[in-house]
Each structure stands twice: as structure tokens, then as C-alpha cells.
Amino acid sequence: MTFLNLNYNEITVLPDEIGDVHHLNEIHLNNNKISKLPGGMGNLFSLHLLKLSHNAIEDISDDFFNMRYLKKFNIDNKLGNLSTAGFLRLPHIEEFISNDNSIVVDIKAFILNHFKNNALYKKIMDCIFMNWPKKI
């Protein structure tokens, strides 16, 4: 199995064993009632797309960020922060959607050399500096 769609199922808890399905490329868990992500999700090394919007997730553990091939991540939830060190372990991230959160992220996470080869880096820098004067 490489694709799992469990949208709109009123799921409240994901089993830690979800991390044992190593061949998953896409997971859709939108519009459930999930409040916590199991540490086992960090074992989904082949995962490219993860959609978790409209749940009740407030925090993400550092174990989660082991999905080094994750490219698209939708986490429209109730997050208050996002681990800078953890986020840096997602070098292939291209799309990060985080509406309706109150995330505080250290901008240095996006400026470090480690992240400069990522496609998302230029988009972030363009957004940050687009209103700055051309000459200082």
C-alpha cells in the first residue's frame, strides 16, 4: 500500500504502528479529530505528502520530523509552535501549508545554509524581503 486516505472519519487516535507501513507515499487524514501524532509516524521514510488539516493537533514531537523525503505537508490545525531543529530535518519540503495555526518559528531556520538548497527557501526569502526598499 502506498496511498492512504482516511479523511472525514472522526479518527481521534492514530496507532503508533502506522509507522510500520514503510512504503506509504501519501497519507490524507484531513477533517478528523486527531489531537496527537504518534512518534511512529517518523518512521515513514518514503512519505512524500502528508495532509493533516482540520484536526485538533497542538504540538508535533521531534520524532515526527524524521520523514526526510516529505515534500508536501498540510497542517492547518491549532499548532502553537514548530520545532526549528525538527523542521530542518525536512530538506525536501516544497509545500508547507499551515493556516489557522499560531506557529512561532525562528526565521533563522530558513536562512541556515542547510536549507538554502531547498525549493521552499527562495519562496520564503521572497516573501520576507518583498516589501524591503531596493536600496538601503
- Which residue has better confidence, 46 or 133? 46
In whole angstroms, what is the distance from residue 52 CA to residue 82 CA? 15
Beta bridge partners of 72: 49, 95
Confidence of residue 23 (pLDDT cuts 50, 70, 90): very high
CA atoms within 13 A on the CB side of 62: 5
- Residue range 102-112, pLDDT digits in tens: 877 666 655 55
With 60 as the cut, is the pLDDT of residue 114 above it? no
Residue 89 maps to a domain: yes
Entry pTM: 0.79
Q: How many domains does the chain have?
A: 1
pLDDT at residue 124 tops 80? no
Range of the domain at 99: 3-129
Q: Check if the beta carbon of residue 100 is closer than 8 Å to that of residue 78.
A: yes
What single-letter amino acid sits at 97?
Answer: I
CA 28 to chain CA centroid, Å, is 13
Convert the pLDDT of each residue in 27-83 to its tens digit.
Answer: 999 999 999 999 899 999 999 999 999 999 988 888 888 998 999 999 999 888 777
Tell me whether residue 136 is in a domain.
no
136's grid cell = 538601503
Asked, for residue 113, whether it belongs to a domain, the answer is yes
The pLDDT assigned to 118 comes to 61
> 77 in a domain, yes or no?
yes
The string of DSSP letters for 51-118 reads: E--SS------GGGGG-TT--EEE--S---B--HHHHTT-TT--EEE-TT---B--THHHHSGGGTTS
More confident residue, 97 or 124: 97
Is 12 or 110 the better-scoring residue by pLDDT? 12
pLDDT computed for residue 46 by the predictor? 95
Domain assignment present for residue 134? The answer is no
Mean pLDDT computed over every residue of the chain: 83
* Spatial distance between the Cα atoms of 53 and 98, rounded to a whole number of angstroms: 8
Cβ burial, residue 63 (10 Å; 0-12/13-18/19+): middle
Instruction: Tell me what pLDDT residue 127 has.
Output: 67
Check residue 9 and give its pLDDT. Answer: 98
